[in-house]
Amino acid sequence: MPLVWDRLKFDPVAQRLTAHSTFQFRKFAALGWFCAIFGSAGIAAFGRGVPAWVAGCGSILIATIGIYRLRKERLLLRDYETVAATVSQWTKADGPDGGYVYSVRYRFLGSDGKVYFGKSGTTDKELPSEGNTVPVLYKRTDPSQNEALATFWFHRFTYTGTE
């Protein structure tokens, strides 16, 4: 798919997103991670045999993934900019609960005038198809560190002035 420079540079959605988005910490998501960690750790502490080892390893794995994601989101939110990225590839796959999960590859123009590429994680939220725009948050000092807003776990974003 050819790169449409004008569309990336002068996308009107990007102008509406900039300085109009706010983020909010999802307390229930954090509480869910906390309960999962301490629930399985409690089973490991009071159980015996293989189930205790499995629960202990599960709690360590859950804690590690949760801390990694929370740290990644917090680092991006320290000094960020929001931009509308153009979706270059859209993927829909069967989800674990019978539904679908979506992911996209996208490209955007950073504040330094260079084009950057990114890939979202999977989410059960339907993401825009190829050629459309998706809101992306990137680190001002390093635009190669970016994430589609729909795939944040611990933060929710609201927009004022967008359609």
Q: What is the pLDDT of residue 21?
A: 57
pLDDT band at residue 9 under the 50/70/90 scheme: very low
C-alpha neighbours within 13 Å on the C-beta side of residue 108? 31
Contacts of 162 (CB under 8 A, 6+ apart): 13, 16, 17, 20
pLDDT band at 49 (very low <50, low <70, confident <90, very high): confident
Q: Once rounded to an integer, what is the mean pLDDT over residues 35-55?
A: 77
pLDDT in tens, 104-163: 999 999 988 899 999 988 888 888 889 898 888 899 999 999 998 888 888 777 754 333
Supply the DSSP string of 7-41, one letter for each residue. Answer: HHHT-HHHHHHTTTEEEEE-HHHHHHHHHHHHHHH
What is the arithmetic mean of pLDDT over 88-95? 89
More confident residue, 53 or 134: 134
Its pTM surpasses 0.75:
no
